[in-house]
């Protein structure tokens, strides 16, 4: 199985830790557990992951696998902060550290190429586009999964009137296959997931 890139692994671990804290709080455990090993052990005692001797590396792996195996309906959402639409749609937002840092990570992850027409610098200027426009969905302005790389012309054509996702279908299938292989290794798959994985494994990328 292809290794998860370190930056993505760290991102998953942050989400997994937050989700584990919320789940354990829901079950009546202490409000704050700092140590990954203790988090994994408490999840195991609650029957949410297999019992085991969780050290530093194995606990991080177990937390990520548990988080990636959750259905979206099972995830406990944190209270949503009210988003100021005027701030998100302003030019100041595009100069903020939060946006510039996220923009860099998207370019690093997807590559410096328009995902609509395939053009590359220096022939074009690249933009990081909000698939669901921030003018309509300000709460998604800083969501990694709502971003794609487009050249200036394609981005201008898409504007905020369309919500087309031009990210590579093969990449999406590979990403899904990675998730299923990882879950199979750590937690096991249900029958529907096994069938989905078999179909993905027969594809040529």
Model pLDDT for residues 50-78, shown as the tens digit of each residue: 877 777 778 888 888 887 777 655 555 54
Q: Is the pLDDT of residue 31 over 60?
A: no
Rounded CA-CA distance 99/188 in Å is: 37
Distances from the Cα of 200 to the Cαs of 99, 157, 171, 176, in angstroms?
Answer: 34, 33, 12, 8
pLDDT, position 2: 46
pLDDT, position 27: 76
Long-range contacts, stretch 70-79, CB < 8 angstroms, 24+ apart: 70/19, 75/19, 76/19, 76/22, 76/23, 76/26, 78/18, 78/22
Q: Is the pLDDT of residue 127 over 70?
A: yes
Mean pLDDT, the chain, rounded, equals 79
Rounded CA-CA distance 30/5 in Å is: 32
**Taking the model in full, what pTM does it have?**
0.51
Closest CA to 150 of 118, 108, 104, 102: 118
Residue 6: pLDDT band with limits 50, 70, 90: low
Q: Spell out where 37-102 has E strands.
A: none
DSSP state letters, 2-18: PPPPHHHHHHHHHHHHH
Sequence ranges of the domains in the chain: 1-79, 85-158
Give SS3 for 23: helix
pLDDT tens by residue, 131-156: 999 988 888 888 877 899 999 999 99
- CA quadruple 96, 100, 101, 107: dihedral, nearest 10: 160
């Amino acid at each position: 199985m292809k290794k998860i890139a370190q930056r993505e692994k760290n991102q998953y671990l942050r989400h997994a830790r937050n989700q584990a804290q919320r789940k354990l709080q829901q079950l009546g455990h202490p409000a704050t557990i700092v140590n990954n090993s203790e988090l994994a052990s408490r999840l195991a005692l609650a029957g949410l992951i297999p019992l085991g001797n969780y050290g530093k590396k194995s606990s991080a792996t177990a937390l990520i696998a548990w988080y990636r195996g959750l259905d979206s309906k099972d995830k406990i959402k944190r209270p949503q902060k009210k988003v100021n639409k005027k701030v998100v749609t302003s030019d100041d937002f595009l100069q903020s550290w939060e946006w510039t840092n996220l923009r860099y990570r998207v370019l690093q992850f997807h590559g410096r190429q328009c995902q609509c027409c395939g053009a590359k610098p220096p022939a074009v200027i690249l933009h990081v586009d909000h698939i669901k426009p921030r003018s309509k969905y300000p709460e998604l302005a800083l969501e990694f999964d709502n971003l794609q790389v487009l050249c200036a012309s394609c981005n201008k054509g898409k504007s905020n009137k369309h919500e087309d996702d031009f990210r590579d279908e093969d990449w999406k299938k590979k990403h899904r296959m990675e998730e299923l292989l990882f879950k199979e290794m750590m937690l096991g798959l249900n029958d529907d997931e096994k069938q989905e994985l078999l179909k993905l494994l027969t594809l040529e990328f």
